[in-house]
Amino acid sequence: WGTLSSGEQGSALRAQLVDVKSVYAHDSAFLAEKNDGTFVYWGRSSRDLSETGIAAHLTNITSVIPLRDGFVITTADDKIVFIGGIDEPEADSVEILPGISQIITSKFGFGVVALLDDGSVKAWGRDLTCFPEESLVHGTDVKTYWFALSALTADWRVFSWGCNTKG
């Protein structure tokens, strides 16, 4: 139930929404993980994930994190899968990224940061023009605030990036 643009299609998908293990939500869509390893995605930007090619990468899931307009999913085989994106609800993508130790998102999902086992940092999101990727080889901690993120490095420096009017 709900508005047609934000999830009501779930009733139309009733036949697919059986034997469900977990349900996740972001601002305007849902993602159901079924016991057979398949996923059903519905809401404002619903689409068949097998038709987009993303479904093939949704195996060995270790975490599902909601974003503003999508999800970031990590897998045991070093993949980061974006269903939707940051301000782009239909921008599905997959990236191989070995050694993920932690995923952090900003409060409203405008930025995603991966801290890697080797201390390096990888970021995705809005307004990365000031993201100091070359300086964050030894990132130790990342904090978020509304639309911005800050990272502490092993040599005690702090770098911030994101929306410059909100943090």
Encode pLDDT of 40-70 as tens digits.
888 766 666 767 778 888 888 889 988 877 8
Q: What is the reported pTM?
A: 0.74
Q: What pLDDT, in 10s, does the model give residues 3-24?
A: 555 555 556 677 888 999 999 9
What pLDDT is recorded for position 132?
53
Question: What is the C-alpha to C-alpha distance for residues 85 and 68, in angstroms, rounded to an integer?
Answer: 8
Torsion over CA: 32, 60, 82, 135 (sign): positive
- Exposed, middle or buried, 27 (CB in 10 Å: 0-12/13-18/19+)? middle
First to last CA, the chain: 36
Distances in Å between the alpha carbon of 31 and those of 3, 25, 72, 85, 140?
A: 16, 6, 11, 14, 31
Confidence of residue 136 (pLDDT cuts 50, 70, 90): low
Question: Does 80 score more than 70 pLDDT?
Answer: yes
What amino acid is encoded at 20 in this protein?
V
What integer is the mean pLDDT of 85-114?
A: 72
Lowest mean pLDDT among 17-21, 50-54, 147-151, 160-164: 160-164
The answer, yes or no, to whether residue 137 has pLDDT greater than 60, is no
